[in-house]
């Protein structure tokens, strides 16, 4: 405990150095003299405004940590125990809760044997077509990430490759600049075999004995060539070899069963090497065991520091402290932490979605006159407008970013009702924001060193369509006059700019000028008329957009046939909304059914929100067992709800009360565990018997009693994402159950053996009271599915996409994403 306090109150110097990124946990710094560099930078920056600001920021972080530690002090043993149970079961319920919705989808999400290869190019290369061409040979769907990284799934390539003749795996050293390449070649071979887990001894041997006339004729002798094997490692070596031969760029790579691990792998042998984590559970855990959390993508210096204050440095500690983390951090965060500690990551390479914002910003030496600032602002708007138009984007929100000479950053945003894209349109908004800021420091000048403009809130593709349709139909229909009468002029003004300059500053002339600017490229020889027309035009578009949205939707698309993921009936519909309505209907129908089936107990419901998810799960599982026919529907409804928005989860929680009070309030720990195990059918026999044999038995029993709905259609083997072992069953119900078991394994063990509990000082003798206690009203409710907000101690993470998708409504997009 004292250690943690010390860590939290770490000195300012430490903090600043941390902030400045001088922390050698990340690869690449190992060889450098950290102390020396720190000193140099300290000397260079001490006393500067920059340095002062870094200090300030660091103190803010320290405050956050302090707050967190205070919170931690208040955490009771009871809460921790409760959290221990919940964190794991809620976690798995949510993460794998989508189960039955779509067999194929799930199977793909959980099981594929992926090999993902991020390539980190050493030099900042124009990773031009050439490279890309090479990568596409191994995975046509490879995903470039930024300029210097790409993920590819070479699973299929590996299969094909097994049958390839050797010549197809033979590559030549570049012969054009012989001397250099020879040298490179030697370096390459040396590096290839250096420090790699299972480098192939065959590589660079055996080649000399083969002579081939064809090669000789082309001036390519086998001495100048390499044959690569058929393993994943060999493939990646081949890729790196080819890239280097073609582009002179070296790359490091990682091979692992998911993106997160692959990324960390590629970090391992950074300069010019590769590393592989085999997809066995133990290999993953070994890799993670002593891995500093800082290495995990998404965990930056702040998160690192905060976790360090809790005594967490490695990924395994992240797992050990999961109960505490679930109390101190937001749900998104701690689930991400748990994901990390279990080595779970995304196994499919999703195309990154549509962009959400576009911005441009510039740093400069101090600018403090309003005139310069406005000019600069206009310039930024011009640049941004160009970029926007290149991608054909229009956005509703304009954000101005300012950094003053003290390095303090401010952003000011304004959302307008009609989306903007031209220089004038953007500037019209941005200049107001800028004006407000200038005014706010008046009579002092606004002294800035950075200005940026961002546009966000883009129309979605569909919205674009409607708008275009609306505008064109509007123009054609010639109903302007009728519409004009509906909208008084004043509201038109406000329609365009919410922060209308007229409202707080800006004179009449300002308005005039702004209007002129806006109109300059539009139309209208007559100024006043032009202004009117301009605004009216915008407003009309909006009006039409809103009014016609529904009808446009209905008329827009040809009828298509979808299969409802809930009732599995084919739905012929001409738009998504209709379909979604159907699905919602299906889902709520299920809810109603559930409600009727389960007796409601209001008094206990209020007292037991914390256990809902667990019992929800039980509830489902029990019926999976007892009534396979009905099960298909109810299970799906439950699980779809699981993955849906907080709203619907909440609703779900309220509608579905749990079981009888006796079960809800077990009198002691072992009762809880026993109940849990029996209800969830996780451990048919004695829970302390926690071995692999168990899984098989479980599967055999359940495999026979499960509905066909849950059978995977494909012949793909299911691989448990937790233990990474291939499962014999093709039945998703039993497969999911296996995953449950895996996830709960450690927990159950801990609870039964009463050891390995995060902080050993917690008194387990309290356990008898823990659960009744935590059901009382006064207790802090930490149930995530109830939407309880925690204080902002959270760290963000790149899983957000995951989080988002599991938060999306039960719309069809979710299933066909």
In the complex, minimum distance from the CB of residue 350 to DNA, in angstroms, rounded to a whole number: 11
- Rounded CA-CA distance 130/137 in Å is 11
> Considering beta carbons, is residue 498 or 529 the nearer one to DNA?
498
> Considering beta carbons, is residue 77 or 419 the nearer one to DNA?
419
In the complex, minimum distance from the CB of residue 791 to DNA, in angstroms, rounded to a whole number: 4
How many helices (H) and strands (E) in the chain? 37, 15
CA nearest 351: which of 809, 813, 801? 801
CA nearest 307: which of 291, 325, 282? 325
In the complex, minimum distance from the CB of residue 409 to DNA, in angstroms, rounded to a whole number: 6
> Considering beta carbons, is residue 246 or 362 the nearer one to DNA?
362
* CB 815 within 8 Å of CB 120: no
Helix axes 646-655, 612-626, angle to 10 degrees: 70
DSSP type of residue 168: G
Q: How many CB atoms lie within 10 A of CB 142?
A: 21
CA nearest 565: which of 709, 755, 754? 709
Interacting residues of 154 by C-beta distance below 8 A, sequence separation 6+: 115, 117, 138, 139, 232, 235, 236
> Considering beta carbons, is residue 175 or 456 the nearer one to DNA?
456
In the complex, minimum distance from the CB of residue 453 to DNA, in angstroms, rounded to a whole number: 9
- Rounded CA-CA distance 743/343 in Å is 12
DSSP string, 760-802: TTS-GGGHHHHHHHHHSTTSPP--GGGT----S-----TTHHH
> Considering beta carbons, is residue 240 or 449 the nearer one to DNA?
449
- Rounded CA-CA distance 740/683 in Å is 10
- Rounded CA-CA distance 4/149 in Å is 37
Coil vs helix vs strand at 413: strand
In the complex, minimum distance from the CB of residue 305 to DNA, in angstroms, rounded to a whole number: 8
Residues within the interface to DNA (CB under 7 A): 20-21, 37, 41, 57, 60-61, 64, 296-304, 329-333, 353, 355-363, 387, 397, 399, 409-415, 450, 452, 454, 456-457, 498, 789-801, 803-804
> Considering beta carbons, is residue 419 or 707 the nearer one to DNA?
419
In the complex, minimum distance from the CB of residue 296 to DNA, in angstroms, rounded to a whole number: 7
> Considering beta carbons, is residue 399 or 712 the nearer one to DNA?
399
In the complex, minimum distance from the CB of residue 450 to DNA, in angstroms, rounded to a whole number: 5
In the complex, minimum distance from the CB of residue 464 to DNA, in angstroms, rounded to a whole number: 17
> Considering beta carbons, is residue 223 or 813 the nearer one to DNA?
813
* CB 650 within 8 Å of CB 787: yes
Q: Is 201 left (phi over 0), alpha (psi -120 to 50) or beta?
A: alpha
> Considering beta carbons, is residue 363 or 572 the nearer one to DNA?
363
> Considering beta carbons, is residue 338 or 718 the nearer one to DNA?
338
Omega before residue 443 within 30° of 0, cis:
yes
Scan for tokens 């107990």, then name that residue.
601
In the complex, minimum distance from the CB of residue 455 to DNA, in angstroms, rounded to a whole number: 9
> Considering beta carbons, is residue 210 or 417 the nearer one to DNA?
417
Strand pairing partners for 225?
172
In the complex, minimum distance from the CB of residue 429 to DNA, in angstroms, rounded to a whole number: 10
- Rounded CA-CA distance 681/618 in Å is 9
In the complex, minimum distance from the CB of residue 709 to DNA, in angstroms, rounded to a whole number: 31
Interacting residues of 471 by C-beta distance below 8 A, sequence separation 6+: 541, 544
């Amino acid at each position: 405990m004292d250690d943690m306090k010390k860590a939290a109150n770490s000195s300012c110097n430490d903090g600043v150095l941390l902030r400045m990124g001088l922390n050698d946990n990340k690869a690449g710094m190992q060889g450098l003299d950290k102390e020396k560099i720190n000193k140099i930078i300290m000397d260079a920056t001490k006393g500067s405004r920059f340095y002062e600001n870094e200090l300030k920021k660091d103190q803010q972080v320290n405050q956050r940590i302090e707050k967190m530690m205070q919170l931690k002090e208040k955490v009771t043993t009871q809460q921790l125990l409760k959290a221990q149970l919940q964190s794991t079961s809620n976690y798995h319920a949510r993460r794998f809760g989508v189960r039955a919705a779509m067999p194929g989808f799930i199977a793909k999400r959980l099981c594929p044997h992926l090999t993902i290869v991020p390539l980190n190019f050493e030099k900042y290369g124009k990773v031009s077509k050439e490279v890309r061409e090479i990568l596409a040979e191994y995975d046509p769907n490879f995903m470039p990430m930024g300029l210097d990284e790409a993920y590819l799934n070479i699973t299929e390539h590996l299969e094909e490759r097994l049958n390839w003749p050797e010549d197809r795996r033979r590559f030549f050293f570049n012969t054009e600049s012989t001397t250099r390449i020879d040298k490179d070649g030697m370096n390459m071979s040396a590096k290839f075999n250096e420090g790699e887990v299972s480098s192939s001894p065959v590589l660079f041997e055996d080649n000399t004995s083969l002579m081939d006339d064809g090669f000789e004729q082309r001036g390519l002798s086998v001495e100048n060539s390499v044959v690569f094997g058929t393993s994943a490692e060999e493939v990646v070596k081949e890729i790196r070899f080819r890239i280097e031969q073609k582009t002179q760029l070296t790359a490091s790579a990682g091979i692992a069963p998911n993106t997160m691990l692959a990324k960390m792998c590629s970090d391992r042998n950074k300069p010019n090497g590769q590393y592989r984590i085999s997809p066995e559970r133990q290999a993953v855990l070994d890799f993670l065991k002593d891995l500093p959390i800082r290495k995990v993508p998404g965990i930056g210096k702040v998160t690192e520091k905060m976790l360090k204050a809790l005594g967490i440095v490695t990924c395994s500690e992240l797992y050990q402290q999961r109960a505490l983390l679930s109390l101190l951090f937001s749900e998104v965060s701690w689930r991400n932490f748990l994901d990390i500690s279990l080595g779970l990551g995304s196994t499919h390479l999703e195309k990154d979605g549509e962009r959400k914002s576009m911005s441009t910003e510039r740093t400069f030496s101090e600018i403090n006159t309003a005139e310069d600032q406005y000019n600069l602002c206009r310039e930024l708007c011009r640049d941004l407008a160009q970029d926007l138009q290149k991608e054909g984007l229009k956005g509703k929100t304009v954000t101005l970013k300012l950094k003053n000479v003290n390095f303090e950053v401010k952003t000011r945003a304004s959302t307008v009702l009609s989306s903007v894209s031209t220089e004038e349109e953007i500037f019209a908004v941005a200049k107001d924001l800028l004006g407000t800021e200038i005014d706010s420091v008046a009579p002092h000048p606004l002294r800035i060193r950075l200005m940026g403009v961002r546009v966000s809130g883009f129309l979605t593709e569909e919205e674009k369509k409607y708008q275009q349709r609306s505008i064109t139909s509007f123009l054609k229909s010639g109903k302007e006059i009728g519409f004009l009468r509906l909208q008084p002029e004043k509201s038109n003004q406000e329609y365009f700019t919410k922060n209308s300059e007229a409202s707080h500053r800006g004179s009449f002339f300002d308005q005039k000028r702004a209007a002129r600017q806006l109109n300059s490229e539009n139309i209208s020889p007559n100024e006043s008329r032009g202004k009117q027309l301009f605004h009216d035009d915008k407003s009309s578009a909006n009006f039409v957009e809103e009014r016609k949205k529904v009808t446009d939707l209905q008329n827009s698309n040809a009828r298509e046939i979808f299969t409802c993921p809930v009732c599995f009936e084919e739905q012929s519909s001409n738009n998504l909304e209709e379909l979604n309505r159907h699905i919602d209907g299906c889902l709520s129908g299920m809810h109603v059914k559930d409600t009727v089936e389960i007796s409601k107990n209001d008094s206990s419901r209020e007292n037991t929100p914390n256990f809902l998810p667990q019992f929800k799960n039980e509830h489902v599982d029990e019926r999976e067992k007892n009534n396979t026919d009905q099960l298909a529907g109810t299970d799906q409804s439950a699980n779809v709800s699981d993955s849906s928005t907080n709203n619907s989860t909440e609703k779900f929680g309220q509608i579905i009360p749990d079981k009888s009070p006796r079960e809800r309030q077990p009198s002691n720990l072992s009762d809880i565990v026993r109940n849990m195990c029996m209800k969830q059918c996780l451990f048919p026999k004695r829970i302390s018997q926690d071995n692999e044999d168990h899984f098989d038995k479980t599967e055999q029993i359940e495999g026979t009693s499960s509905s066909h709905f849950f059978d995977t259609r494909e012949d793909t083997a299911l691989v448990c994402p937790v233990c990474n072992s291939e499962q014999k069953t093709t039945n998703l119900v039993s497969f999911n159950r296996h995953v449950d078991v895996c996830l709960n394994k450690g927990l159950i063990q801990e609870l039964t053996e009463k050891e390995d509990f995060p902080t050993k000082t917690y008194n387990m003798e309290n356990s008898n009271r823990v659960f009744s206690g935590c059901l009382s009203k006064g207790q802090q409710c930490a149930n995530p599915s109830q939407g309880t907000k925690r204080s902002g101690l959270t760290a963000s993470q790149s899983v957000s996409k995951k989080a988002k998708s599991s938060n999306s409504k039960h719309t069809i997009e979710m299933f066909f994403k």
